[in-house]
Amino acid sequence: MIQTFDYDDGEQRLIVRFVSGLVYAYAGVPAEIAAGLREASSKGHYFTESIRDHFPFTRLRGGVDRRALGRGDATLHEER
C-alpha cells in the first residue's frame, strides 16, 4: 500500500507515496502519529486506522517536491 513516506516536523505534514504512484500530503499530523507510522509493523494498517480519514490531504502532482518539505536533505522512508 505505502511505498515511501516522509514527515516535516515544522509543517506537521506527512507526505505519502503509495505503490500506485500517487502521492498525497496530509496536513496537521502530530509528530507522534508520524512516529507511529515509522514504527508500525504494518504501515498500511496503521495508515488506515490512524491517518486516512483523520487529516485533511492534498494530492501532489508529479511526486514529492523536497523544497516543499522545508528542508533540502529530506529522505523518504521505504516500506519493506
pLDDT, residue 44, reads: 96
pLDDT, residue 62, reads: 63
Asked whether 39 and 49 are in contact (CB, 8 A), the reply is no
- pLDDT for 1-60, tens place per residue? 999 999 999 999 999 999 999 999 999 999 999 999 999 999 999 999 999 999 999 999
pTM value is 0.77
Checking if the pLDDT of 70 tops 90, the result is: no
Q: Which three cell numbers stand for residue 62?
A: 508529479
DSSP H/E element including 49: helix 43-50
